[in-house]
């Protein structure tokens, strides 16, 4: 049992390291984003507060809007951890869920948003995903990337209790 938990911890750390290095590489190569195709979120972070593993998954909805005068295509949505998934909801239609790259298939989104069009990114966190070792303060990110190279990060946090 201890060996399994140790291996799981190593896998999680490697995955987090790969995601972090991709995030840093993307940020260091970013160009100033023009007004065309800019996705804005009504809030960039949400704190669930104290959540119980026993109570199950928690969810928060982030509103996003294309603030540009032209359409923009959302190319990908992905999370920083396997315990977090995001679903795009636009005009009552759901696409996803989208999870962590490297942990199963993460499909491309390919959803176009018209000027001033709004959508919802529903973020679901499973506090029990990491087992007993997953208690304590967590912070996860859902990234939204667009065809013009822009990226919006939505962050969730919580204090996980057994």
* Of 133, 154, 150, 162, residue with least CA distance to 59: 154
**Alpha carbons 142 and 151: distance in angstroms, whole number:** 10
Average pLDDT in the 106-124 region?
91
Q: What CATH number is associated with residue 86?
A: 2.60.40.10
pTM equals 0.74
* Of 5, 14, 7, residue with least CA distance to 100: 14
pLDDT one-digit tens code per residue, 64-82: 999 988 899 999 999 999 9
Range of the domain at 67: 2-161
Domain count for the chain? 1
């Amino acid at each position: 049992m201890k060996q399994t938990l140790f291996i799981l911890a190593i896998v999680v750390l490697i995955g987090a390291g790969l995601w972090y290095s991709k995030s840093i590489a993307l940020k260091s190569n970013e160009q100033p984003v023009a007004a065309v195709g800019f996705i804005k979120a009504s809030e960039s972070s949400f704190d669930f507060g104290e959540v119980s593993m026993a109570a199950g998954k928690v969810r928060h909805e982030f509103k996003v809007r294309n603030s540009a005068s032209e359409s923009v295509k959302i190319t990908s949505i992905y999370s920083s951890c396997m315990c977090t998934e995001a679903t795009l909801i636009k005009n009552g239609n759901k696409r996803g869920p989208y999870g962590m790259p490297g942990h199963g298939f993460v499909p491309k989104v390919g959803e176009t948003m018209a000027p001033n069009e709004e959508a919802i990114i529903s973020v679901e966190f499973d506090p029990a995903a990491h087992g007993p070792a997953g208690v304590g303060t967590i912070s996860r990110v859902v990234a939204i990337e667009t065809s013009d190279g822009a990226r919006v990060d939505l962050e969730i946090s919580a204090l996980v209790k057994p």
